[in-house]
Amino acid sequence: MQISTPKQLKELQQKFQDKDNKLVKKIIVCHGPGCLASGAEKIFEEFQQVLSKKKIKGVTLEALKKTGCHGLCEKAPLVAIEPAGILYTRVKPRLVEDIIEKTVKNDEVIPELLYQDPETKKRVEKYRDIKFYSHQTRIALRNLGHINTADIEDFIRVGGYQAMAKAITKMTPERIIDEVTKSGLRGRGGGGFSTGRKWATCRKVKDDTHYVICNGDEGDPGAFMDRAIMEGDPHSVLEGMIIAAFAVGARSGYIYVREEYPLAVVNLQIAIEQAREYGLLGESIFGTDFSFDIQINRGAGAFVCGESSALMKSVAGEVGEPRAKYIRSVVKGLYDKPTVLNNVETFANVPVIIDRGAKWFTGIGAPKNSGTKAFSLVGKVRNTGLIEVPMGTSLREIIYDIGGGLIDGRPFKAVQTGGPSGGCLPDSLLDSPVDFDSLTKAGSMMGSGGMIVMDDRTCMVDVAKYFLSFLVSESCGKCNPCREGLYQLYKLAVKVSEGRAEEDDLEKMEKLSDMIIIGSLCGLGKSGPNPFLSTVRYFREEYLAHIKEKKCPAGVCRELIRFEINDKCDGCTACILACAYNAITGKKKEPHVINQDLCTHCGACVTVCTRNAIDVI
Amino acid sequence: MRSRLIVNPNLCTGCRTCELACSFTHSVAGKPGLSRIYPLDGGFKDLFVPVVCLQCEDPACARSCLVDAITRNPETGAMELDDKKCVRCQACVSACPFGCSLFDRVNNLVVKCDLCGGDPACAHFCPTKALEYKPIVPKALKSAG
Amino acid sequence: MVNITINGKLVQAYEDEMLLTAIRRENIDIPALCHHEAVEPYGACRLCMVEITKDEWDGWKNHVTSCLYPVEEGLIVNTHTPTVIELRKTILDLFLAGSPRSTVIRKLAAEYGVTKTSYEEVPDGTDCILCGLCTRVCDKMGFSAISAVNRGHGKEIAPPLNEPPPDCVGCLSCAYICPTRYIKFTDDGKTRKIWGRKFKLLHCEKTGQPTITEEFARYLVKNRQIPEDYFKINDLSHRKELALKMGEITQWGREE
Ligand SMILES: Cc1cc2nc3c(=O)[nH]c(=O)nc-3n(C[C@H](O)[C@H](O)[C@H](O)COP(=O)(O)O)c2cc1C
Ligand code: FES
């Protein structure tokens, strides 16, 4: 099936819509990363089996959909029944028959499976009424949870490739770039550079070859927005890339996918093949002289390979080391040719902008930060998951309304944004808006969209230590300030956490951080000290407690804490069993004691104590 | 017309002034360097041959240099060795069929004749004109002149 | 030619050359440990960093590695501002923590007033500062016998699989180019040992003097079309041979 005119595409869309309209009900089985990990495939198979056994009028196997991430990963696996919009959480295969019998067949809701509001304890029937969903605006994630993954028919049905048709047949490259520039779209990979300006510069470089690359490396620990898009809606990425290619005059494109994302590779590959089959990739697209094709590159499994120059070296088959930025990659990028590199989410935004116009897009979000941003909300919040909010939404709204507040109602301590080289923001900044400029001003950054919420039991020195150690091992090791500087910064953080540091060590760390920022070659080093700088900026007392009082207020740093048994102990002996160092003694039914000389502060006793009888001091 | 270093063994007395001149011109840190020219025994009585780089058309030294440190100076025509690029692998020393790339052990340098940038000291100081640096004039022009 | 200002002095630089070249031509001493003309600039040691600005930049300044920043008309360069000096000091301090025994590093650090590292010495630190010169020159020469392995703080230079590298020809360029003389080799006039490999040296058939390794000569014969018999004798014997040949020719002229 080759589509050669926009009219044909419209007709095809109509055809698929008609087919879809015949479905009275749709059963959405989320196949996002979280749900897959909790057994979504089994549930899907179960639905297939039960559905083919029971003949329900108007509900065929076609009604069953495997979609990308629905969002509320905390409650995975998720099943939604559309069009009613009923969301079932923590579904198990044995419940499938019930769901079909009651909800699909008889429109009867199963209350136990519904989402329960943590505050009101009320069950919410329609997922759109759940605050987690109602506070979101989905653009990049628009199709996730709605259409089949890697299914071009479903994608075309919801209007896919229409923007591309419009761009190629009705717009000039200049018009497209102008529209994208006016939309104010900024790179979602972290830097926040104007996408339109990037394209314009690339187009202006006179050369016979231009490239378009999609950055799907997503190396931030805990982040999975790009993964969700590539797995769940790969065609959106392709459509964005095709529009970009047409705009800058590229004939080939690459998608660089992180090594750990095999399903993304599979689904992108399927999508590419489908697009070729439909004539949307290949020679003379829509009968014009524009030709474009896309290839997938598997990442090298290194965080630093997400950095633009390292990524291009890796695509070219060289070692993924960043190079100096004095020659910009838009001018001399892959194979020294002008290259546009954009993030997955950036590309996924492009078709919508072309379709609905720059004006519409700038109406969403904040000044100079138009549109939305996807985040993976993780950590100590009740509703972890994949979210997308207008730029400028406050941290409080994200954490408390969408995230449902902290687990067990514990006090909020900090939120970490921007990936490993981002920063931690305290409660005093909860009301500041989330956008590129505000986050940077606050000493953190947007990054690609990881958001980790921390409660009062988190030690900020420990957090800084964790991220620094990540960066020390993930630095490419090329330049001295990043390789040796971050290593020493990490060592100093360890010194603080072990209570060996002195007050002037903090100053030393700050000075070293400044030098690492000036001296490093690429963004990794230049933002590497952020985990330290932001925590010391907002949580200086906590550092000082470690240094002066030799105490870890959060009770995390092993060298600075002590375990003691309180009077709640009823002598159950569980802790004695658990202690591998024979540090706990005591008779049955008599209070136990910890021998501080033998205790290694491993915390095993705390894990097994059911009486809350062990205090961390 | 480009000048060349012309060697006339018939006039060479083996006095080694050229060697000295070369050493001093190519001094390293104030001390005389390794000479790039040697009047050697020609195999017959009183016959000395000043051996010096011939600045070949397709020189083995440059071909063997894997870091492209030996290139032709377009003005003088000399094959010059850029010491800043040289990595001392001594491929050229071994590859030159005339033995005119040399390794200076004292200073850890690979050296060869560079025609002193257009005014070769050896020719300048040669008392007998066994070494001359002069334009090669085509025969046709010569007779006309 | 482009006009730039270095430390207040207006100088001319060649188009396309790097700042470091222009700075060094002015006899200004700035350290550079990962730079060598034989290979492309790399920007790893960061010691050559300088401050740059332009009149039209409204006071905005940037710090760049001069070894790979191409000169630009109107550039104002300062090679020894307090920040730049502080930066070099920090870098040398960090290098010293990693290579406390290296005389080259110690000397350079001392020039910047660092005689003892203020950081924790790296356990099992070596004199290798990962400047990448050895691997780059090996690549440039076409052997690619050694490369950097691992990343982050565990990065090191090694032959593949840490075994004697099959592609090495024993040319010693890596050892020569190593700024801290970390790459060790032995040469007793018969055999040469480097990277765990042994190489037989060729010897001049006339003088018996050693020249280059058999493998290196073979490589040059094969890839650079140098006739094999050129390697039979050494340079001195070549010169003597030339003198005798020319002597013979001259003698004919005399006899006539
Ligand atoms: C150390 C480092 C890691 C990065 N990792 C990623 C990544 O995983 N994904 C990504 O899209 N961009 C990453 N970036 C940003 C890219 O260099 C680049 O700016 C981005 O892909 C450009 O696309 P955009 O303009 O659409 O954001 C990283 C940058 C640095 C310095
Ligand atoms: S010489 Fe410029 S960074 Fe090392």
Cβ–Cβ under 8 Å, residues C250 and B125: no
Containing domain of residue B100, as a range? 3-144
Containing domain of residue C14, as a range? 2-80
Cβ–Cβ under 8 Å, residues A257 and A170: no
* Residue A325 confidence class, pLDDT cut points 50, 70, 90: low
Closest Cα in chain A to C118: A508
Encode pLDDT of B74-90 as tens digits: 999 999 999 999 999 99
Give the pLDDT mean for B59-65: 97
**pLDDT exceeding 90 applies to what percent of chain B?**
88
For residue B58, the distance in angstroms to the closest alpha carbon of chain C comes to 11
Cβ–Cβ under 8 Å, residues A403 and A412: no
**pLDDT exceeding 70 applies to what percent of chain A?**
100
Which pLDDT does position A58 carry in this prediction? 77
Distance set, CA A568 to CA A177, A588, A592, A612, A616 (Å): 69, 14, 10, 7, 14
Site from C17, C42, C46 to mutate, A interface, most A CB atoms within 10 angstroms: C46
Give the pLDDT mean for A283-300: 94
Does CATH number 3.30.70.20 belong to domain A562-616?
Answer: yes
Select from C30, C34, C52, C136 the residue to mutate for testing ligand 2; criterion: most ligand atoms less than 8 Å from CB. C34
Asked whether residue C69 falls in the same domain as residue C155, the answer is no
* Crossing angle of helices A234-248 and A262-277, rounded to 10°: 60
Query: Nearest 5 degrees, angle CA C101-CA C104-CA C105?
Result: 65
Encode pLDDT of A159-182 as tens digits: 999 999 999 999 999 999 999 999
For residue B142, the distance in angstroms to the closest alpha carbon of chain C comes to 23
Distance set, CA A79 to CA A73, B13, C90, C172 (Å): 11, 103, 56, 66
* Residue B143 confidence class, pLDDT cut points 50, 70, 90: low
Please tell me if residue C231 touches chain B, with a CB cutoff of 8 Å: yes
Cβ–Cβ under 8 Å, residues A427 and A443: no
Q: Cα(C90) to centroid of ligand 2, in Å?
A: 15
Taking the alpha carbons at both ends of chain B, their separation in whole angstroms is: 15
- What is the C-alpha to C-alpha distance for residues C188 and C181, in angstroms, rounded to an integer? 19
Encode pLDDT of A124-149 as tens digits: 999 999 999 999 999 999 999 999 99
The answer to whether the CB atoms of A488 and C64 lie below 8 A apart is no
Please check the confidence at residue B144 and state whether its pLDDT lies above 60. no
- Count Cα neighbours of B131 within 13 Å in the Cβ-side half-sphere: 30
Which pLDDT does position B145 carry in this prediction? 44
Encode pLDDT of A396-410 as tens digits: 999 999 999 999 999
Question: Is the bond leading into A77 cis (omega within 30 degrees of zero)?
Answer: yes
- What is the C-alpha to C-alpha distance for residues C84 and A518, in angstroms, rounded to an integer? 9
Give the pLDDT mean for B112-128: 95
Cβ–Cβ under 8 Å, residues A389 and A373: yes
Q: Within C99-198, where are the H helices?
A: 103-111, 133-140, 173-177
Give the pLDDT mean for A531-559: 94
Does CATH number 3.40.190.10 belong to domain A19-128?
Answer: no
Encode pLDDT of A441-465 as tens digits: 998 998 888 999 999 999 999 999 9
Task: Tell me how far the alpha carbon of residue C40 is from its chain's centroid.
Answer: 10
Give the pLDDT mean for C129-142: 96
Q: Would you list the domain boundaries of chain A?
A: 19-128, 152-361, 366-458, 461-549, 562-616
Q: Which CATH number fits domain A461-549: 1.50.10.20, 1.20.1440.230, 1.10.10.10, 3.30.300.30?
A: 1.20.1440.230
Q: Is C137 within a domain?
A: yes
- Other Cβ atoms less than 10 A from the Cβ of C246: the count is 19
Q: Cα(A604) to centroid of ligand 1, in Å?
A: 40
Which pLDDT does position B142 carry in this prediction? 63
Classified by CATH at the fold level, domain A366-458 comes out as Ubiquitin-like (UB roll) (3.10.20)
Asked whether residue C76 falls in the same domain as residue C149, the answer is no
Select from A225, A308, A314 the residue to mutate for testing ligand 1; criterion: most ligand atoms less than 8 Å from CB. A308
pTM above 0.80, yes or no: yes
Helix (H) or strand (E) holding C5: strand C2-6
Please tell me if residue A325 touches chain C, with a CB cutoff of 8 Å: no
Give the pLDDT mean for A426-454: 92
Q: CATH number of the domain that B123 lies in?
A: 3.30.70.20
Q: Could you give the number of structural domains in chain C?
A: 2
**pLDDT exceeding 90 applies to what percent of chain C?**
95
Look up tokens 């509703």; give the residue: A383
Distance set, CA A152 to CA A12, A416, B122 (Å): 11, 37, 81
* Residue A355 confidence class, pLDDT cut points 50, 70, 90: very high
Does CATH number 3.30.530.20 belong to domain A152-361?
Answer: no
Residue bearing the CA closest to ligand 2, atom 1: C32
Encode pLDDT of A479-501 as tens digits: 999 999 999 999 999 999 999 99
Site from C238, C241, C256 to mutate, B interface, most B CB atoms within 10 angstroms: C238
Please check the confidence at residue A417 and state whether its pLDDT lies above 90. yes
Q: Which residues are CB-contacts of C83 (< 8 A; sequence separation ≥ 6)?
A: A518, C51, C63
Ligand nearest to the CA of A479: 2
Backbone angles phi, psi at A59, to 5 degrees: -120, 95
Please tell me if residue C189 touches chain B, with a CB cutoff of 8 Å: no
Q: Cα(A166) to centroid of ligand 2, in Å?
A: 49
- What is the C-alpha to C-alpha distance for residues A490 and A484, in angstroms, rounded to an integer? 10
Q: Could you give the number of structural domains in chain B?
A: 1
Look up tokens 């070549």; give the residue: C238
Helix (H) or strand (E) holding C52: strand C49-53
CB C39 less than 6 A from any atom of ligand 2: no
Among the partner-chain residues C37, C176, C226, the one whose CB lies closest to the CB of B82 is C37
What is the b/e burial string over C173-201, where b = at least 16 CB atoms within 10 angstroms of the residue's CB? bbbbbbbbebbeeebeeeebebbebebeb
The answer to whether the CB atoms of C65 and A319 lie below 8 A apart is no
Count of B-C CB contacts under 8 Å: 138
Please tell me if residue C252 touches chain B, with a CB cutoff of 8 Å: no
For residue C239, the distance in angstroms to the closest alpha carbon of chain B comes to 5
Q: Which of A6, A377, A56 is nearest to A166 (CA)?
A: A6
* Residue A517 confidence class, pLDDT cut points 50, 70, 90: very high
Backbone Cα Rg of chain B? 16
Q: Cα(A479) to centroid of ligand 2, in Å?
A: 9
DSSP assignments along B115-145, one per residue: GGGTS-HHHHH-TTSSEEEEEPPPHHHHHH-
Please tell me if residue C95 touches chain B, with a CB cutoff of 8 Å: no
* Residue C6 confidence class, pLDDT cut points 50, 70, 90: very high
DSSP assignments along A245-276, one per residue: HHHHT-SEEEEEE-TT-HHHHHHHHHHHHHHH
Please tell me if residue A520 touches chain C, with a CB cutoff of 8 Å: yes
Which pLDDT does position A561 carry in this prediction? 87
The answer to whether the CB atoms of C230 and B94 lie below 8 A apart is yes
Closest Cα in chain C to A485: C94
Which pLDDT does position A602 carry in this prediction? 85
* Residue A301 confidence class, pLDDT cut points 50, 70, 90: confident
Which pLDDT does position A600 carry in this prediction? 87
Mean pLDDT for chain C? 95
Whole-complex ipTM? 0.93
Please tell me if residue C158 touches chain A, with a CB cutoff of 8 Å: no
Which pLDDT does position C50 carry in this prediction? 98
Among the partner-chain residues C176, C239, C251, the one whose CB lies closest to the CB of B88 is C176
Mean pLDDT for chain B? 92
Tell me the chain C residues in contact with residue B85 when contact means C-beta distances shorter than 8 Å: 36-38
Please check the confidence at residue C244 and state whether its pLDDT lies above 70. yes
Q: Is C196 within a domain?
A: yes
Chains that touch A (3 or more CB pairs under 8 A): C
